[in-house]
Structure 1
Amino acid sequence: MDAGAITDVAGLEVGHFSDPRRPTGCSVVIAREGAVAGVDVRGAAPGTRETDLLDPTHLVPHVHAIMLAGGSAWGLDAASGAMRWLEEHGIGMDVGAGLVPLVPAAVLFDLHVGDPAVRPDAQAGYAACVAASRQRPAEGNVGAGSGATVGKLFGPELAMKSGIGTASVRLGEVTVGALVACNAVGDVVDPANGQTVAGARTADGRALRHCTAAMLRGEALHPLLAGTNTTIGVVATDAPLTKAEAKRLATTAHDGLARTINPVHTMMDGDTLFALTTGKAARSPGMVVLAVMAAEAVARATLRAARTARGISTSNGLVLPAWDGLDQS
């Protein structure tokens, strides 16, 4: 069954840049005509840019793109490249003296996957914009998902490869789509059956450990630095919304992460979701229905982030299998 994509939402384009030197990159969601936006940060160790302007009480009415990137805080520079591309294409807020493109951003930590000196920069963000289109975006080991991993509670050497995924849900004339780069410290779980899809492996590396069960058995966790994980994403709709409603949509979209990541929103994750609305649909089905659609789209996209990933071996000795490379019992 076609899972759909965030680009099913009218008015949005998506582009990836994947760095050929090591697994890292960035992904951009562009709204050429501007979009009302909100954000909700649930993880305790976020890396973000320009999120304050999304507060419903603040002045700016629209943003022009959202940047998702690897590279930890270094990756926030990718948003500068997106600003340059948008300005060159006549996109931005008119401030009289010129156009100022508004590009909120969030990053995930992938510096342990290969050479940490290689990370997304402004040129990477620019390249992602050049690649942007209305086509269904690639998934798995691309863009912000290039260096994404999951299941690090028992050590990065027992983690697994994840990536970036997309999905959409449609009801009548309204669409809600999501793009999620999953780099969680916990496991990815299929909400349809409760089974772990990807996550921490057993000591021999051959099977899934199942984090919750292992922790409840009292197994010791690996010491981890806060912020060295994080799931980031965008949920978008064409239903007309206010800034306050966009903020609420971002909040309820986190329910989708809670269905598919276990544990989620930890002290070691900086889980952040942006919400966008292009307002292209004639009417909204109401916030309750949109919240259900948003959570479902995010859950499906997160699951696809794990299931479209491919296993890799890195230059610094990590062997990271994907979901289909292990005993799933």
Structure 2
Amino acid sequence: MTLPNSTLTAIPGFRVGHWTDPVGCTGCTVILCPDAGAVASASFLGPSPGTREGVLLSPEKKVERVHALLLTGGSAFGLAAATGVVRVLEERGVGHQTPWARVPLVPTAVVYDLGVGDPRARPGEQEGEAAARSASNAPVERGRVGAGTGATAGKYLGQEFTVPGGLGSVCVERHGVRVGALAVVNPIGDVLDERGGVLAGPGVGPGAVAFTPGDVESTTLVAVATEHTLTKNDARRLADAAQTALGRVIHPSHTFWDGDSAFVLSSCVLPPADPMLLGALVQEAVCASVRDAVRRANAGG
């Protein structure tokens, strides 16, 4: 029996693909948008985000639509994987039309996973290309896969106390409005369950041991997708709502060592939805996708 899709790819037009290195403990995950692109914006909190083309997503910038979003391990080295995604999109004739070529726009964000497996194992062009070619509308594979392969949570006592963070994805619907979310969970803080208890992490809170800046690097990445028409300003407000949701499900969140990044993508094929409902669903989906990630990562995927 085929189960219904309850992940981000339940939103029509969006496809997800992974490349995973289970030995080096790294990987990358691509979200391909509809060929016409998706209206997109983002919110970056914490002082340590690693991004490519993130500035394009500011509401005041000219470009409204992007063609894919890449989430990757490998820290700054992993940004190179975006070139492989761009290659696949160019080959398919997808991109922003300019006088001489179509230019695919692929914002990218990284997590720091170099201390988990082999620090020399990093996604590059070939790996980004492989993830893009594997992308489909099948239910998203979750757990220790793609960009979540080397993600860990609860790092405030030191690396030896961390637990797998992983990659999670959900789709939530209410009153005919749907929102999909995908999260790569790599925070310093604990992940909390629905009742506020500790789902992943030491659970004792910071301060139990001295914490030295630079001991670890952390970031949680979130992507949200919807069919409902958004302006770029709308998408930015929803990205801020997604960041607020991270503050509900991760404790502490947005620390001096996190670079939390939240992206919102809209295919704009349906009329605008009630903004209050849409904002509530974004927060619900983000919290659920973070919890889905750690549950699957710690259950073996």
Report the TM-score range of the alignment, normalised by the length of the smaller protein.
over 0.9
Are 1:294 and 2:296 an aligned pair? Answer: no
Does structure 1 retain, via aligned residues, the 8 Å contact 2:5–2:139? no
Q: Measure the CA separation in 2 of the matches of 1:43 and 1:6.
A: 25
Over residues 267-316 of structure 1, what are the superposed CA-to-partner deviations in whole Å (9 max), with x where a residue is unaligned? Answer: 111100110000122x22222211110010000000011000047xxxxx
- Which TM-score applies when normalising by structure 1? 0.87
Select 1:71's aligned residue among 60, 69, 74.
Answer: 74
Distance 1:211 1:69 in 2: 29
- 2:234 aligned with 1:231, yes or no? no
CA distance in 1, matches of 2:11, 2:204: 35
Deviation at 1:21, TM superposition (A): 3.8
Question: How many residue pairs end up in the alignment?
Answer: 298
For 1:40-99, what per-residue CA distance to the aligned partner results, in whole angstroms no more than 9, with x for missing partners?
Answer: 001221101101111111111210000000011111111111000100111101112111
Larger mean Cα displacement after TM superposition, 147-156 or 286-295: 286-295
**Equivalent residue number for residue 57 of structure 1:** 60
Amino acid at match of 1:303: R
Deviation at 1:224, TM superposition (A): 4.1
State whether structure 2 residue 293 is matched by structure 1 residue 308. no
Q: Percent identity?
A: 42
Determine whether 1:147 maps to 2:150.
Answer: yes
Match of 1:203 in 2: none
- Cα pair distance change 1:227/1:33, threshold 3 Å: farther
Counterpart CA distance in 1 for 2:155 and 2:5 is: 28
RMSD of aligned C-alpha atoms?
1.8
Mapped contact 1:226–1:268 kept (Cα < 8 A)? no
CA 1:284 to 1:227, structure 2 compared with 1: closer, same or farther past 3 Å?
A: farther
* Whole-angstrom CA distance in 1 between matches of 2:179 and 2:215: 32
In structure 2, relative to structure 1, the CA distance for the partners of 1:10 and 1:53 (3 Å cut) is same
Contact 1:153 1:221 in 2 (8 A): no
Deviation at 1:187, TM superposition (A): 0.5
Please list every run of 5 or more consecutive structure 2 residues that lacks an aligned counterpart in the other structure. none
Report what 1:206 is aligned to: none
SS of match in other structure, 1:137: coil
Q: Any residues of structure 2 matched to 1:9-88 within 5 Å, and which?
A: 9-31=11-33, 32-88=35-91
Aligned equivalents of 1:66, 1:108: Cα separation in 2: 14
**Pair 1:188 & 2:177 matched:** no
TM-score by length of 2: 0.95
Evaluate the alpha carbon distance shift between residue 298 and residue 2 of structure 1 in structure 2; reply closer, same or farther with a 3 A threshold.
farther
**SS of alignment partner, residue 239 of structure 2:** helix
Runs of 5+ in structure 1 lacking a partner?
Answer: 201-209, 312-321, 324-329
Asked which structure has the greater CA Rg, the reply is 1
In structure 1, the residue corresponding to 2:268 is in which secondary structure?
Answer: coil
1:132 to 130, 135, 149: 135
